[in-house]
Amino acid sequence: MLYGFIGTGIGGGLILDGKIYRGSKFVAGEIGHVLVDKNGPVCGCGNRGCFEAIASRTAIVNKIIDDIKSGKKSELIDMVKAGERIKSKSLANAVANDDKIVIKRISDGCEVIGGVLASLANLMNFDMIVLGGGLVEALDSFMLPKIEIAFYDHVLNASAEGLKIVSSKLGDDAAIWGGIALAEEFLGLKV
């Protein structure tokens, strides 16, 4: 399975045959830096057009800020004017209030997320993709169906067979559970 974190950035983890797969230098699962658009915005890693630079919450918020600055209407205008940080909860409220700009930008993000996940599913033939991170947690019922549409549009039929895409049940606690599992594995403890 693949775990994908969609929030401030985009990260991921691979569990293959029941075990975390780390790769030869512990980098495996770094899905955030898959190239999506070589002419896209600059990523935190220094390259252009990485998945994270296009579909993370930060990337989506940057697009919304540009829209608002170019005169488009959104309920987030006061936050943008005040230079406040726009978090996932504010985006979820805007979606609930039918804010067209926010809906458009998050929908565009879902299209990219679905497409990238389809490429990864073709590579790895997963049983399951679990999505978490602040943006997905705040907006899973809005985002998941949109991600699935783009996913099934791109994926090969054989790669999609029996595959489930679900949102994380552990939420923010996933990291601490992961830390416990790591300690158990490396130190031979049973917590």
The Cα-based distances of 130 to 62, 168, 188 in angstroms read: 25, 6, 27
d(CA 150, CA 118): 8
Pick one of 45, 128, 166, 176: the residue that binds Zn ion (CB under 5 A).
Answer: 45
Q: Are strands 128-132 and 19-21 parallel, antiparallel or unpaired?
A: unpaired
For tokens 């205008």, name the residue.
Answer: 77
Nearest distance in Å: CB 38, Zn ion:
12
Cβ proximity to Zn ion: between 44 and 178 the closer is 44
Is residue 57 a contact point for Zn ion (CB under 5 A)?
no
d(CA 185, CA 45): 30
Nearest distance in Å: CB 172, Zn ion:
24
For tokens 């158990």, name the residue.
Answer: 184
Is residue 42 a contact point for Zn ion (CB under 5 A)?
no
Nearest distance in Å: CB 41, Zn ion:
10
CB 132 within 8 A of CB 170: yes
Nearest distance in Å: CB 30, Zn ion:
9
Is residue 30 a contact point for Zn ion (CB under 5 A)?
no
Pick one of 50, 94, 139, 155: the residue that binds Zn ion (CB under 5 A).
Answer: 50
Catalog residues that contact Zn ion under the rule CB under 5 A.
33, 43, 45, 47, 50
